[in-house]
């Protein structure tokens, strides 16, 4: 039987069992297959199978579902167990606990990654050793860095900050002999996120909705320099513009000797299709969150769905805020 003589519904059903590469090859083989496959309904169904029936979508935006589906499956394929793009590496972390926090350090330690786990162990691992040795050992390990789950690690020049389920913020200096604690402060609940706002200031967010700012040059007996409970629920994340730009390497590639086969220029192209969608018209502002400026010290996000921008000079209320909403494109299928 000639495959091209089958109804479009049957051809589409066959394609559901083919890889994305095979589907595209079949589509390009003839106008008949192209007509059958390049239908919006087909790509919606295929994407729904990968996304459990839901795909985040913003109202009034137009999505090319074929591009989204192709990007989704190609990127997913990079991380298959048998993919040529994935190299499995193992490092002796001296722990059987899950790793929940890691941070590539700022210069001059940019070739080191700090790793924290649920057992309170903090380790420094050389990226070079990790990439080119079969089973590298950490450069340094502290099995009692915290008395509980390490939730976050932030870094600045010569120091790192760690937070934990044990309610503590700890700041460590980095030296030739490892790392030494230089600041510790205990709070009333688990500390879930942290970041440096400038060389001496660290911001943290806690389980009981607090935001706190510390100057680690001040003795540990002193309370936080600033604090508030603007969020109505757990503070889950925060990020400072300073932490993104400080200690930049002017384009130096930390992995210039990597043996990865990925073409990252192509990866950028694919990921732009993954999440970005096209506006029907020129974009209009939908929130009052300002662009990064010297007045915004950091942004925070909470379980309450609020994104807030903070000016340290007026820390009782956010400089701007936005309440997020959930929009889903739900695909119902009966085949």
- In DSSP notation, 193-221 reads EEEEEETTEEEEEETTS-EEEEETTS-TT
Specify the pLDDT at position 247: 62
> Are 15 and 42 contacting, i.e. CB atoms less than 8 angstroms apart?
yes
pLDDT at residue 195 is higher than 90:
yes
Mean pLDDT throughout 273-300? Answer: 55
* Tens digits of residue pLDDT in 4-26: 788 888 888 888 888 888 999 99
Specify the pLDDT at position 115: 92
Specify the pLDDT at position 193: 95
- The confidence band for 220, taking pLDDT boundaries of 50, 70 and 90, is low
- The confidence band for 47, taking pLDDT boundaries of 50, 70 and 90, is confident
Mean pLDDT over the full length of the chain: 78
Query: Which percentage of the chain shows pLDDT scores above 90?
Result: 28
Indicate the range of 3-12, 37-46, 284-293, 323-332 predicted with least confidence: 284-293
- The confidence band for 81, taking pLDDT boundaries of 50, 70 and 90, is low
- List Cα–Cα distances, 161 to 36, 216, 222, 255, 324, in angstroms: 56, 10, 18, 24, 29
Specify the pLDDT at position 300: 95
pLDDT at residue 207 is higher than 90:
yes
Specify the pLDDT at position 275: 47
Specify the pLDDT at position 110: 87
- The confidence band for 78, taking pLDDT boundaries of 50, 70 and 90, is confident
* Tens digits of residue pLDDT in 95-129: 667 888 999 998 888 899 999 998 899 999 888 88
Residue 24 backbone dihedrals phi, psi, to 5 degrees: -65, -40
* Tens digits of residue pLDDT in 134-177: 778 888 889 899 998 999 999 998 899 999 999 999 999 987 77
Cα 230 from Cα 319, distance rounded (Å): 12
Residue 75 backbone dihedrals phi, psi, to 5 degrees: -65, -40
Mean pLDDT throughout 218-224? Answer: 70
All structural domains of the chain: 3-79 (1.20.1280), 99-246+295-323 (2.130.10.10)
Give the angle subtended at the CA of 306 by the CAs of 302 and 307, to the nearest 5°: 90
- List Cα–Cα distances, 124 to 199, 205, 216, in angstroms: 21, 24, 22
pLDDT at residue 52 is higher than 60:
no
- The confidence band for 77, taking pLDDT boundaries of 50, 70 and 90, is confident
Specify the pLDDT at position 202: 94
- The confidence band for 330, taking pLDDT boundaries of 50, 70 and 90, is very low
Give the angle subtended at the CA of 31 by the CAs of 26 and 36, to the nearest 5°: 65
Cα 331 from Cα 93, distance rounded (Å): 43
């Amino acid at each position: 039987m000639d495959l091209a003589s089958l109804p479009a519904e049957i051809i589409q059903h066959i394609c559901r069992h083919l890889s994305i590469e095979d589907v595209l090859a079949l589509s390009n083989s003839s106008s008949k297959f192209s007509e059958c496959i390049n239908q919006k309904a087909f790509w919606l169904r295929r994407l729904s199978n990968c996304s459990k029936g839901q795909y985040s979508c913003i109202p009034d935006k137009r999505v090319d579902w074929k591009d989204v589906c192709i990007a989704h499956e190609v990127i997913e394929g990079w991380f298959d167990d048998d993919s040529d793009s994935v190299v499995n590496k193992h490092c002796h972390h001296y722990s059987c606990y899950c790793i929940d926090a890691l941070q590539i350090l700022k210069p001059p330690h940019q070739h080191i990654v700090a790793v924290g786990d649920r057992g309170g162990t903090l380790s420094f691992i050389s990226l070079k050793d990790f990439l080119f040795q079969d089973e590298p050992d950490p450069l340094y390990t502290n099995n009692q860095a915290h008395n509980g789950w390490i939730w976050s690690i932030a870094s600045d020049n010569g120091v790192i900050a760690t937070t934990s389920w044990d309610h503590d913020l700890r700041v460590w200096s980095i030296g030739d002999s490892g790392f030494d604690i230089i600041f510790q402060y205990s709070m009333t609940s688990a500390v879930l996120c942290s970041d440096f706002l400038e060389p001496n200031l660290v911001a943290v967010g806690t389980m009981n909705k607090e935001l706190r700012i510390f100057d680690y040059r001040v003795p540990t007996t002193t309370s936080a320099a600033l604090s508030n409970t603007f969020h109505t629920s757990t503070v889950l994340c925060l990020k400072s513009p300073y932490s993104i730009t400080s200690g930049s390497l002017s384009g130096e590639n930390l992995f210039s000797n990597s043996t990865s086969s990925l073409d990252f220029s192509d990866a950028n192209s694919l990921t732009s299709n993954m999440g970005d969608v096209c506006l029907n018209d020129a974009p209009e502002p939908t929130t009052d969150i300002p662009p990064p400026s010297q007045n915004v010290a950091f942004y925070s996000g909470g379980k309450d769905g609020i994104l807030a921008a903070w000016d340290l000079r007026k820390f009782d209320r956010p400089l701007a805020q936005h309440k997020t909403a959930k929009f889903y494109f739900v695909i119902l299928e009966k085949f």
